[in-house]
Chains A and B, each alone.
Chain A
Amino acid sequence: MENRRTPEDRFVEAFRAWADRPPRLDPSAAAKVVVSRLGERRRPPQQLAWALATAAAVALGVASLLMVRTASPPQASQQAGTVLANPTLAEGQVLIWLDEHTSLHMTYAAPDAAAR
């Protein structure tokens, strides 16, 4: 019977045996690996976390710089009489830059407090 097998029959038989070899990873180990890879993908990558932290720090720096500039004397091009906020002023005080050299401080108080 052995001699009657054609080369193609032999190939088919060999192919089935070859394909039937067990994989390197058994199915349960493979399932664990795949599910753990799914979990890894759900966590943001460390590079992304660093990029987000850096972007937040830069944004904070730019915002701080803008606040300091806003509180500084206006340039000549700015209109006189601009009312500006200044975080160092006490409560009830207002600072108005009339031009780049002249500032006007005003203090607001209740009428009875001024009479005392």
Chain B
Amino acid sequence: MAGGGNDAALVRAAQLGDDAAFSALVERHWRRLVGLARSVVGDVDAEDVVQDTLITAWDRLGDLRDPAAFRAWLTRSVARASVRRARRRAWLRPLGPLDDAADPRVEDRNGEIQVRQLLRRLAPRQRVVMHLTVVEGMSDREIGETMGIDAASVRSHRRRARTVLRRLLPGEGG
């Protein structure tokens, strides 16, 4: 996994209660984590989810035995929190059944793909896998470690996500 190379020293300091070190970690990971949360829960909830997860992370920082694993640990926490939030939202505001035909809303008037509309059609865990694959460029093994599942399950989530996307994307054979 790229980045986060110097997290360990900051994590050790934060584990001793150093606010400034934790603040530096937040600054370092904020944008990436919001990107992940946004792919799963959308723009409105993403920053709340990440903030709440960071507060919880501060409480549980003492449980993290390997400070070098902070990035993966935090990513997993945000992914899980986002999936939980997305499931709760889906339960409150369920989408209609999946439409086999291309959804007219997935492209705007200029022919630009409406990413959020497409992501909403995926299961929350599929959104996580697609984000980590497409945006972060992680391998199946890395995604599996991040999500706490094996690489075969990662491939299965991605395959199902792509099947849904092919149905919905304009111009795909279906």
Interface residue A22 (Cβ < 8 Å from any Cβ of B)? yes
Whether a CB of chain A sits under 8 angstroms from the CB of B35 is yes
State whether A15 and B26 are in contact (beta carbons under 8 Å apart), knowing that A35-B19, A38-B19 are contacts in the complex.
no
- The answer to whether A20 has its CB under 8 Å from any CB of chain B is yes
Query: Using a Cβ–Cβ cut-off of 8 Å, how many residues does chain A contribute to the interface with B?
Result: 28
| Whole-angstrom CA separation of A87 from B148 in the bound complex | 70
The binding surface of chain A is classed by DSSP as helix
| Chain B: interface residue total (CB-CB under 8 A) | 36
C-alpha gap A38/B23 in the complex (Å): 10
A30-B113 in contact given A19-B38, A23-B30 (Cβ < 8 Å): no
Contacts A7-B169, A7-B172, A19-B38 given: A27-B28 contact, CB under 8 Å?
Answer: yes
Is there an interface contact between B55 and A22, defined as CB atoms closer than 8 Å?
Answer: no
Query: Closest B-chain residue to A39, C-beta based?
Result: B19
Q: Does the CB pair A31–B130 fall under 8 Å?
A: no
B47 touches A24 (CB 8 A): yes
**CB pair B172 A20 closer than 8 Å:** no
Q: Mark B83-118, 1 if CB is under 8 A from A, else 0.
A: 000000000000000000000000000001101101
Given contacts A27-B27, A30-B26, contact A11 B19 (CB under 8 A): no
Main secondary structure of the interface of B (DSSP, over half): helix
8 Å CB contacts to A: which residues of B13-30? Answer: 19, 22-24, 26-28, 30
The answer, yes or no, to whether A62 is at the interface (CB within 8 Å) is: no
B-side contacts of A11, CB under 8 Å: 113, 115, 118, 165, 169
Q: Does B2 contact A (CB under 8 A)?
A: no
Q: Would B23 and A32 count as touching, CB distance under 8 A?
A: yes
Q: Is A52 an interface residue (CB 8 A)?
A: no
Q: Is the CB of A19 within 8 A of B169?
A: no
For residue B170, CB closer than 8 A to chain A, the reply is yes
Interface residues of A (CB under 8 A from B): 6-8, 10-12, 14-16, 18-20, 22-25, 27-28, 30-35, 37-39, 41
